[in-house]
């Protein structure tokens, strides 16, 4: 991460129009963090999402994990396999760790954050709730798109005041704010660091707000051909077609 920070600083010294920029329409993206050691996710971390799901908010963060097979990039197709039916989207703010964190206080937690990106914690609800362990429904292939950009923390003035939005086929589904989080980013980084070492490049997906299919009375699950767009203030827009 130190090398990346130096590279970002060096870009400021280039002259616009000197040929070092590429047309964005021609870019084929990779996941903005391609090989994290850990992908940690937080369940039921928005008050209104917990309410729509009929579940109580937890007194401690509810952690689960995804694996690197779940990573996908901006514009990458996500396969919806026939072994499940209840496919759901989840717009989430993703924290990218930049410095080793162990037994970090809340006061120092943000010093260990490199930046932020959009994430889509895709879920197969019928697999997720087959047992008490959520893993099966959370980490199928490409079920964690991240991007398109990794935005450094200095660009985000207040991480607890960001709009979070999601559209499916252009129709608005989620429209909330990180101020509705039960546990803030500082609390999450500090809490997790008490139990495990957070390493540079680790991802913490901080939970989704209300508006997911699971919380609707009439549930229309994602299907092949649907396009999910996720946008968080200052982080660009993450787009993924379902295949």
pLDDT of residue 16: 62
Whole-angstrom CA distances from 205 to 77, 120, 242 are: 20, 9, 21
Contact 238, 168 (CB under 8 A): no
Distance of CA 179 to the CA centre of its chain: 16
Say yes or no to pLDDT of 233 above 80.
yes
Instruction: State the pLDDT confidence band at 58, using cuts at 50, 70 and 90.
Output: confident
pLDDT tier for residue 242 given thresholds of 50, 70 and 90: very high
pLDDT at 187 over 80: yes
pLDDT of res. 24: 85
Name the token pair of 40: 């940690």
Rounded mean pLDDT, 217-239: 97
Residue 15 scores a pLDDT above 80: no
For the residues 175-187, what does the mean pLDDT come to? 97
Q: Hey, what's the torsion of the CAs at 148, 75, 188, 157, to 10 degrees?
A: 30
Tokens at residue 164, please?
A: 């979070």
C-alpha distance across the termini of the chain, in Å: 33
Ordered by where they begin, the domains of the chain are: 30-241 (3.90.850.10)
User: Is pTM beyond 0.75 here?
Assistant: yes
Question: Can you tell me the mean pLDDT for 213-232?
Answer: 96
Q: With contact defined as beta carbons under 8 Å apart, do 64 and 136 qualify?
A: no
The percentage of residues in the chain with a pLDDT greater than 90, rounded to a whole number, is: 83
How large a percentage of the chain has pLDDT more than 70?
96
**Using one digit for the tens of pLDDT, what is the confidence trace for 101-131?**
999 999 999 999 999 999 999 999 999 999 9
Q: 96 - beta bridge partners? A: 115, 203
């Amino acid at each position: 991460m130190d090398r990346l920070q130096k590279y970002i600083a060096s870009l400021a010294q280039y002259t616009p129009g000197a040929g070092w920029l590429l047309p964005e329409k021609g870019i084929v993206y990779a996941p903005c963090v391609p090989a994290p050691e850990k992908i940690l996710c937080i369940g039921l971390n928005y008050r209104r999402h917990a309410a729509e799901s009929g579940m109580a908010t937890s007194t401690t963060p509810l952690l689960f994990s995804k694996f690197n097979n779940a990573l996908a990039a901006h514009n990458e197709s996500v396969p919806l396999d026939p072994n499940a039916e209840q496919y759901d989207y989840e717009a989430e703010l993703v924290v990218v760790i930049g410095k080793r964190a162990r037994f970090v206080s809340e006061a120092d937690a943000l010093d260990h954050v490199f930046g932020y990106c959009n994430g889509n914690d895709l879920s197969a609800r019928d697999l997720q709730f087959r047992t008490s362990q959520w893993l099966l429904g959370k980490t199928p292939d490409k079920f964690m798109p991240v991007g398109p950009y990794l935005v450094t923390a200095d660009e985000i003035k207040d991480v607890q005041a960001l709009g979070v939005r999601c559209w499916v086929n252009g129709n608005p589904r989620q429209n909330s704010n990180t101020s509705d989080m039960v546990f803030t980013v500082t609390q999450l980084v500090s809490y997790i660091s008490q139990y495990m070492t957070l390493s540079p490049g680790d991802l913490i997906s901080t939970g989704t707000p209300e508006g997911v299919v699971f919380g609707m009375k009439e549930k229309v699950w994602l299907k092949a051909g649907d396009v999910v767009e996720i946008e968080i203030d200052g982080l660009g827009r993450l787009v993924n077609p379902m295949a």
